[in-house]
A and B are shown apart, each in its own frame.
Chain A
Amino acid sequence: EPEVTQTPSHQVTQMGQEVILRCVPISNHLYFYWYRQILGQKVEFLVSFYNNEISEKSEIFDDQFSVERPDGSNFTLKIRSTKLEDSAMYFCASSARQGSNEKLFFGSGTQLSVL
């Protein structure tokens, strides 16, 4: 079964450093998302992306965050200057469409630890 692939599975970085989290969505999917989950807490929406632009974003997704689909297969989340509170599990998701019956497929996540 097709799946969303995320790399790396774990990322440790120093506060203030830039990180790029990578995702390969399911190949025929057109809509892409990033969510995050701080340990033991609920899953939070960050951003949705379609047709090479952001569709929606949350208040968490400030100027330190950006997304890109550089080559037609990868979908990346960049955090320019990481903060301690950015430590979380980051999930990429994709869907084939945004009709009423669409289902999001989630990747296995990247655990980001900011020291």
Chain B
Amino acid sequence: ELKVEQNPLFLSMQEGKNYTIYCNYSTTSDRLYWYRQDPGKSLESLFVLLSNGAVKQEGRLMASLDTKARLSTLHITAAVHDLSATYFCAVARSGTYKYIFGTGTRLKVLA
């Protein structure tokens, strides 16, 4: 069974600081996604990572994928309050389109 774990579950950080969220998954996958969810809202797609070593950046967020370690990271640079949200990674096993979501990381950026 494919399992996806994120850490930390909760993250409170000061504006201007850097931090990394980790996503580990248990079996072979050919794609990994990062989503953002604001309270009471839907899921917004941030990144899709398809291959080992893939790196994508959008604004203050950068995501990377290491398929050998079965690890993805979401790095936050110089955090701002607007980044406060819950971030999920999601993985689909090769040959299937059933996404398995991680537990989520609730990020709070303090002014």
Contact = CB atoms under 8 A, between A and B. Distances in A.
Contacts of A42: 88, 101-104
B99 A45 contact: yes
B103 A106 contact: no
Contacts of A106: 42-44
Contacts of A108: 41-42
B45 A105 contact: yes
Q: Give the size range of A's interface with the partner.
A: 20 to 34
Contact of B48 (A43, A58, A91, A103): A103
Interface in B73-103: 88, 90, 96-103
B31 interface: yes
Interface string A20-41: 0000000000010101000000
B45 A48 contact: no
Contacts of A48: 97-98
Contacts of A35: 99, 101
A110 to B, nearest CB: 11
A91 B43 CA distance: 9
B87 to A, nearest CB: 12
A18 interface: no
Contacts of A56: 96-98
Nearest to A92: B42
B50 interface: yes
B72 to A, nearest CB: 16
Contact of A104 (B50, B99, B100, B103): B99
Contact of B43 (A31, A43, A55, A95): A43
Nearest to B50: A100
B101 A43 contact: yes
Contacts of B98: 45, 48, 56, 58
22 contacts: A35-B101, A42-B104, A43-B43, A43-B88, A43-B90, A43-B101, A43-B104, A44-B101, A45-B98, A45-B100, A55-B97, A56-B96, A56-B97, A56-B98, A102-B97, A103-B33, A104-B99, A106-B42, A106-B43, A107-B42, A108-B41, A109-B42
